[in-house]
Structures are given as structure tokens and as C-alpha cells.
Amino acid sequence: MSYRKKYLKIAVLSVLVSLLAGAVVILILGKNPLSAYYNLLQGCGLAPKAKYAGGKSMFTDLSSYIDYLTPMLFAALSYAVAMRAGLFNIGISGQMLVAGFISSVTIGYSTLSAPVAKPLVLLIGIVSGMAVGALIGFFKYRFNINEVVSSIMLNYIAEYVISFFIHVKYVDPVSRQSRNISDAARLTLHQIVIGGYKYDIPIGFILAVLAVFVLKFVFDRTVLGYELRAVGLNPTAARYAGIHVGRNLVLSMTISGALAGLAGVTYYLGYFASIQPRVLVSTGYDAIAVGLLGNNDPVGILAASFLIEIIGKGSTYMSSQAGLQSEIASVITGLILLASACNAFFMNRLDRRQAAKEELHRKKEEGGIQKGERV
């Protein structure tokens, strides 16, 4: 069995086990797990609801789900790029916030027209995320500061500094959040009416899918991908081979930061149009689950984020329909993370079983196996 096949088997298994465990929890709460899971699909526009409000259809829900999914896809890709080089970027949420804030105050509150504003938002998002990522990579390379420590610290700095500025300068007195950005700068075309139905069309999604395939190519087919993987798997051997380890560390954090920046602008200037002060979104952390489940492979991540976000997005509808707490969704997501984090263990079990099978097979062929013999 190839590595990829084996991994897929484990991923599917861990999702099934998690859903099963979630079902038990729902049963204990006295609800029907099957209808609760069906509610999740309905909430994402993947199954028809019984009835829709005026101007809404299944595809309205689907477009909104895709819109919700986009930042997660970028964030999980960001996690994967760092992981390739063996770095654990736990600061994705902070990098998202920095990118979202800088783009909001520079472009979001400007009067630029849409064709100018939207590309600029993307560009500024990329650059500001990149800057934070590069800083973390540089700390690691120059001063050997663990990236986990520096990115967590930067998360706090971003959270409090930005909330200070929002409070003193950009606050909306009613919502207590930052003021809404202009529609021209927003990356989601909000409440667009086509054929009598309303849709939220996320421009960033196209870019995210593009990023999936670009990264897939970079990882598997380029010199950079080879070097990143070498550095991630064995920095000593990479150095022996003449690879500049430090440069690759900084580079991977820079790309990771850029993708986190894109996650930030598609979140704060796309799905939402404002920033809630003193809150770090959970997307950056959930991205780790998605990355793990997707085996840090861009295409795997695309599939994993679709799956995980069904649970996240559908939970609101589920809780209204089935009368379940929407936190149940977080429980299931957590279980999936736990199960896929154990993949090394399962992988080992599979290997051992396979080895035992081969041994048995070999013995049989040699004709030496006796009835009742322990193998």
C-alpha cells in the first residue's frame, strides 16, 4: 500500500470515528444524530432545506458556505507551507489580524473605486502578512528563537495594539466593532441578486483554489519544494547537501505569512466587513486541524477544509433546527483533530499488520507453516 493511500485510509477512518463519537454525544443529549448531521449539510447549502425565506435558495447557502470556507483554505495552506520546512506557524490568527487591520484602514475606509480597491486590498494583505511571517522566520534564523514562542507573542501584540487603535480611532459606537469597510473594498460581492435570488460571491475563493494548485506544483515539482522538504525533514543533512537552511526557513515563513495575510483579508474584508477588537479568530488554530487532516498536502487540504467547514458553518442551522448547542460542532472538529494527530500511531499499526501478513504469506509459500502455529 502506498503512503498516500495509507494516509487517505487513516484520514477517512479518523473522520468516521469522530462523527461516530459525536453521534454518541448527540444521542446522550437525547437528539437524533442523523438528522443533526443532515442539518449541517442543509446549513451549507449542500442539501435542500424544507423552506427558504424570500430571495434565498439552496445556492444562497452554498455561496455563503464557500465565502466562509475561503479564509480557512488560505490559513490551512499557510500552515502547510511552514510545516514543509518543519516550522509550526501557530501565529496565523495574528497574521490574519494584522493584514485585515492594515488593509481596512488603508483601503477599506478610502473612497477608491472597486477595480482599484479590491486588488489593493489583496496586495496589502499579502505584504503585511508576509512582513510578520518574515520577521518570525528571521528571528528563528538569526537568533534561534523558537517560532512557536515568537508567533504566540506576536499574536498578543497584534491583538492588543490593534484593539487599542480600533477603540480610539475606528470604532463603531453601536456595534463596538471597527466601522464597516466600503463595499468597493470588500472581497465578497455581498447580496448580489441573480435571477431573483441573492448570493454572496467570494472573489478570494478563486485565488485560494489557484493557490492550492500552485503550491501543489511548488511542493512536488520545484527545486524550492525539494529544499523546503529537505530542511523540514532533516536540517543537518540539508546543510550537508549544500542547502542554505536559514534562507529556506525565512522563505517558508514569508510565504506562510503571505497566505495568512490572504486569509486575513478574505475574513475581515470578505466574509465580514469589520474587526471585533480583543478577539483572535479561531481560524488560525482550526487551520492546524485542517492541515493535519489533509496531511499538509494542498489538495488534501482543499478536501479537508471543505469537510471541516461543513461542521463549522452548518452548526448554526443545526442548533436552530435540532435544538443542539452549536458548540457540538467544535467538539466534533476537536475529535477529528485528535484522531488525525494520532495518525503516526495508526500508520505504525498498519505497517505492523502488513509486515505480519507478509511474514505469514512467506511462511506459507515456504510450506513450513504448521497447523496451529503462532505467527
Partner 1 sequence: MADDQYIVEMNHITKRFPGIVANDDVTVKIRKGEIYALLGENGAGKSTLMSMLFGMYEPDEGQIIVRGKEEKITSPSYAAGLNIGMVHQHFKLVSNYTIAENIILGNEPVRKAFGLFPYVDIKSANDNIRKLSEQYGLEVNPTDVIEDVNVSTRQRVEILKMLYRQAEILIFDEPTAVLTPQEIDSLLKIIKNLRDGGKTIILITHKLEEIKRVADRCAILRRGKLIGVYDVPSMDTKEMANLMVGREVELTLQRKPAHFGDVVLDVENLHVENADHFEVVKGVSFQIHAGEIFAIAGVSGNGQTEIADAIAGLLRTTQGSIRILGREISSFTIRERTKTGISYIPEDRQSVGLILDFNLAEDLALRNYYESPFAKKSVLQKKTFEDYGNRLIGKYDIRSASGNDTIVRSMSGGNQQKAIVGREIEQDAPLTIFVQPTRGLDIGAIENIHRQILEERDKGKAVLLISLELDEVMQLADTIGVIYNGELRKTAPAADFTTSEVGEYMMGVKRS
Q: Whole-number minimum distance, CB 304 to partner 1, in Å?
A: 21
Is-contact 228 242, C-beta < 8 A? no
Distance CA 319, CA 321 (A): 6
Candidates 240, 282, 325, 361; binder of partner 1 (CB under 8 A) is 240
Q: Which stretch binds partner 1 (CB under 8 A): 38-46, 96-104, 228-236, 304-312?
A: 228-236
Nearer to partner 1, 225 or 334 (CB): 225
Sequence letter at residue 99: A
Quick one: cell of 221?
A: 515539482
Q: Which is nearer to partner 1, 172 or 220 (CB)?
A: 220
Cell numbers placing 342: 494520532
225 contributes a contact to partner 1 by CB under 8 A: yes
Based on the shown chain and the rule CB under 8 A, indicate whether residue 46 belongs to the binding site for partner 1.
Answer: no
Contact of 293 with 11, CB cutoff 8 Å: yes
Residues in binding contact with partner 1, number by CB under 8 A: 27
Residue 370 in the binding site for partner 1 (CB under 8 A)? no
Q: Is 213 in the site for partner 1 (CB under 8 A)?
A: no
- 355 makes contact with partner 1 (CB under 8 A): yes
Nearer to partner 1, 51 or 371 (CB): 371
Among 248, 250, 249, 266, smallest CA distance to 211 is for: 266
The residue whose grid cell reads 518543519 is 86
226 binds partner 1, rule: CB under 8 A? yes
Among 32, 356, 360, 361, binds partner 1 (CB under 8 A): 356
* Cα-Cα-Cα-Cα dihedral sign, residues 52, 55, 59, 64: negative
Residue 233 touches partner 1, criterion: CB under 8 A: yes
Does the protein bind partner 1 through residue 214 (CB under 8 A)?
A: no
The 10 Å CB-count burial string (b at 16+, else e) for 6-30 is: bbeebbeebbeebbebbbeebeeee
Residue nearer to partner 1 on the CB measure, 176 or 357: 357
Q: Which residues have a Cβ under 8 Å from the Cβ of 205 and sit 6 or more positions away?
A: 66, 67, 69, 70, 73
Minimum Å distance from CB 219 to partner 1? 11
185 neighbors 265 (Cβ within 8 angstroms) = no
Identify the residue among 4, 142, 169, 221 touching partner 1 (CB under 8 A).
221
Nearer of residues 86 and 312 to partner 1, judged by Cβ: 86
Looking at 173, 195, 196, 242, which residue binds partner 1 (CB under 8 A)? 242
Q: 361: which 3 cell numbers?
A: 504469506
Q: Is residue 1 a contact point for partner 1 (CB under 8 A)?
A: no
Q: Does 216 bind partner 1 (CB under 8 A)?
A: no
Q: Distance (Å, rounded) from C-alpha 352 to C-alpha 40?
A: 37
Our finding on whether 236 is near partner 1 (CB under 8 A) is yes
Residue selected from 230, 250, 301, 304 as contacting partner 1 according to rule CB under 8 A: 230
Q: Using the rule CB under 8 A, is 239 a contact of partner 1?
A: yes
CA distances from 128 to 132, 274, 280, 361 (A): 7, 18, 17, 58
Question: How is residue 271 annotated by DSSP?
Answer: I
Give the number of other CB atoms < 10 A from CB of residue 2: 7
- List interacting residues with partner 1 (CB under 8 A): 3, 221-227, 229-230, 233-234, 236-242, 244, 351-352, 355-356, 358-359, 374
